[in-house]
Amino acid sequence: MKYTYAPDFLFRGFERLPFVGIFPYRTPVNIKPELLDTLDLCDGMTDIPEVTEELKTLIDSGIVVPGETPPTDRQKYRYHKNRYFPAAKWQITGRCNYRCKHCFNAVDNSPIFEEFTLPEAKALVNEFERCGVGKVEVTGGEPTLHPNFLEILTELKKADIDVTKINTNGSRITPKLLAEIKAIGFHPLFAMSFDGIGFHDSFRGHDGAEEELLSAIKLLRSEGFAVKIDMNVNAENTETILPSAKLMDSMGVRNMRIDRTMETPRWFKNCKKPFTIRDYYEFALKFAEEYRKGPYKMPINFWHVLHVYPQSRTVSHGAEISGRVSGRTVVCGHNRGMLTVTNSGELAPCNQMSGILHQMGVSFGNVKETPLQNLLSDTYNDETFIKGSITKKPVVSSITAMLTGKKADGDGLIADLEGKFDGAAEIIPKNYLHAADMRLEELYERTPRCPSCKYSERCCGGCRAIPLGLTGSYTERDITKCIWFYEGYADRLETMIEKGAKVHAG
């Protein structure tokens, strides 16, 4: 019988991963050297008389299938001289047409923002292809404001890079634009923000924003595009969250992510009433209990807290690490799997960090100045730290504003952080690859309270963006997780999970 590559299999190699099978929506498969001779025979032309142990392994892994069609040129082996990063989030422009109360990309800031010129965009697409990046999320600012928006999508298509998501406020979604995106060959998920019935216009600083969004959702659904909603929750809109979720569910939205509006400098200026991390946790638990009982289809993710699945009436963890961990576990799996390129060309481990790093004046490397492949390569990586100069006054004021109320983890939670940032300290990785590929063993060396904590294997130090924003340190512990575990919120969620499992089983 003759065998060939599975239709969705790509044979690739990367630094530290010389032979690997890449699939669009599956975990990569490490191909051991002893399988290579057998894989060579799976060319669609060579008859293989028996299924050897090696061939069985390739079949079971989904790498090869029976067939007489030779692998395409795109499927054949290619080595990329960089570490493996399968996806990228790309801010093609910093311009926006809304004045969101919490966002640095608001229209009144837009004159200071950059965007990729078409030649720069084409060069980066070539770099994505050269580095083996197979999927891209396009964002901004408002990406559809870029004068070459469709040309950039066309360049990505030419490079066989899939556009999996477009982040937009929905104001410029038209039948013509959707037809052009389809004609290029993409059918992405559209991610849009909606912050509540009767509240959205005010929060987004744009009259008619809610009407524009609802019209965009209706149009997208009628054209067969999936829609995801991102929602901010704060003290001003808690009453509208559940009715808004019901509305989104009725409109066929695929899923929703709810996140607490963080203490950005712009939100400090505009918010009228604090909404603490404890307020967020209380709200999430109460909302989940009510929403999971309703006749809804749309799952909801409270960022770093929990997931709600109304069809099964269950909830699951959102703030805990699943699976076994060790010192070699990456600090953030999301950062390790998707790089972020800002509108000015800066690299960031995640979108949440991009504005923080910009305001701190920290660069992890710029793709307009240095080839992306260099920035993703071990040969370019320097695992040292740079100094950050964060004084204790703004650190404590920002933490106190976030907590507002009783102390957590004993009186030492804030006091422990207070004295750490007087003057300059080496608290920020020197470059992108060091930040994105950091392992727990290194993080724990710099956060001695974490490895000795009884919740360490469930928390692993928490999110890196939160301490970076609150304290200026990439390697400080995430105190929002200290509050989650030490003040009993995790236990309350566990009780809810057990209750939901019994209801589902019954």
Most confident of 118-122, 207-211, 268-272, 378-382: 118-122
Q: State whether 172 and 114 are in the same domain.
A: yes
Q: State whether 160 and 50 are in the same domain.
A: no
Give me the pLDDT at residue 102, please.
Answer: 65
Give me the pLDDT at residue 409, please.
Answer: 45
Residue 239 falls inside a structural domain: yes
Give me the pLDDT at residue 352, please.
Answer: 84
Residue 506 falls inside a structural domain: no
Q: pLDDT tens digits, residue range 249-276? A: 999 999 999 998 876 656 666 677 778 8
Rounded Cα gap, residues 13 and 78, in angstroms: 6
Give me the pLDDT at residue 397, please.
Answer: 62
Give me the pLDDT at residue 319, please.
Answer: 81
Rounded Cα gap, residues 458 and 491, in angstroms: 12
Q: State whether 215 and 300 are in the same domain.
A: yes
Q: pLDDT tens digits, residue range 20-51? A: 999 988 899 999 999 999 999 999 999 999 99
Give me the pLDDT at residue 372, please.
Answer: 97
Of the pLDDT bands very low, low, confident and very high (cuts 50, 70, 90), residue 503 is: low
Give me the pLDDT at residue 45, please.
Answer: 97
Both tokens assigned to 42 = 């799976």
Rounded Cα gap, residues 436 and 474, in angstroms: 11
Give me the pLDDT at residue 205, please.
Answer: 82
pLDDT at 197 over 50: yes
Residue 160 falls inside a structural domain: yes
Q: State whether 186 and 283 are in the same domain.
A: yes
Helix (H) or strand (E) holding 139: strand 135-139
Higher pLDDT, 275 or 14: 14
Mean pLDDT, range 445-455, rounded to an integer: 89
Give me the pLDDT at residue 320, please.
Answer: 84
Residue 416 falls inside a structural domain: no
Give me the pLDDT at residue 393, please.
Answer: 60
Both tokens assigned to 283 = 């709200």
Of the pLDDT bands very low, low, confident and very high (cuts 50, 70, 90), residue 359 is: confident
Q: State whether 281 and 260 are in the same domain.
A: yes
pLDDT at 106 over 50: no
Higher pLDDT, 393 or 411: 393
Q: pLDDT tens digits, residue range 280-319? A: 999 999 999 999 999 999 999 999 899 999 999 999 999 8
Of the pLDDT bands very low, low, confident and very high (cuts 50, 70, 90), residue 349 is: very high
What phi, psi does 63 have (nearest 5°)? Answer: -80, -40
Q: pLDDT tens digits, residue range 155-173? A: 999 999 999 999 999 999 9
Residue 16 falls inside a structural domain: yes
Residue 101 falls inside a structural domain: yes
The string of DSSP codes covering 195-264 is --TTTHHHHHT-TTHHHHHHHHHHHHHHTT--EEEEEEE-TTTHHHHHHHHHHHHHTT--EEEEEEPP--
Give me the pLDDT at residue 479, please.
Answer: 86
Higher pLDDT, 222 or 389: 222
Q: Are residues 274 and 249 in contact, defined by beta-carbon separation less than 8 angstroms?
A: no
Mean pLDDT, range 420-424, rounded to an integer: 63
By C-alpha distance, which of 160, 163, 173, 170 is closest to 191? 170
Both tokens assigned to 258 = 């709810």
Residue 452 falls inside a structural domain: no
Residue 352 falls inside a structural domain: no
Q: State whether 26 and 120 are in the same domain.
A: no
pLDDT at 396 over 80: no
Q: Are residues 110 and 156 in contact, defined by beta-carbon separation less than 8 angstroms?
A: no
Task: Work out whether strand 64-66 and strand 78-79 pair parallel, antiparallel, or are unpaired.
Answer: unpaired
The set of residues, in sequence order, having a beta carbon less than 8 Å from that of 488 and lying 6+ positions away, is none
Of the pLDDT bands very low, low, confident and very high (cuts 50, 70, 90), residue 399 is: low
Give me the pLDDT at residue 111, please.
Answer: 46
pLDDT at 410 over 50: no
Q: State whether 176 and 264 are in the same domain.
A: yes
Provide long-range contacts, Cβ within 8 A and 24+ apart, for 446-453.
446/475, 447/475, 447/476, 447/477, 449/416, 449/477, 450/477
Rounded Cα gap, residues 62 and 500, in angstroms: 35
Percent of the chain at pLDDT exceeding 70: 88
Across the chain, what does the average pLDDT equal? 89
Give me the pLDDT at residue 268, please.
Answer: 61
Burial 134-148 (b: 16+ CB within 10 A, else e): bbbbbbbbbbbbbeb
Domain edge (last residue) among 79, 95, 121: 79
Give me the pLDDT at residue 172, please.
Answer: 94
pLDDT at 458 over 60: yes
**8-state DSSP, 477:** -
Q: 506 in helix, strand or coil?
A: coil
Give me the pLDDT at residue 392, please.
Answer: 59
For the whole model, what pTM was predicted?
A: 0.92
Q: State whether 109 and 176 are in the same domain.
A: yes
How many other β-carbons are positioned within 10 Å of the β-carbon of residue 487?
Answer: 16
| Range(s) of the domain holding residue 141 | 87-317
Q: Domain count of the chain?
A: 2
Domain edge (last residue) among 22, 46, 79: 79
State the CATH number of the domain containing residue 226. 3.20.20.70
**8-state DSSP, 71:** P
Mean pLDDT, range 79-101, rounded to an integer: 91
Domain edge (last residue) among 251, 282, 317: 317
Q: State whether 66 and 156 are in the same domain.
A: no
Higher pLDDT, 267 or 142: 142
Q: State whether 44 and 66 are in the same domain.
A: yes
Q: pLDDT tens digits, residue range 466-488? A: 888 878 889 988 888 988 998 89
Q: State whether 165 and 204 are in the same domain.
A: yes
Q: State whether 289 and 195 are in the same domain.
A: yes
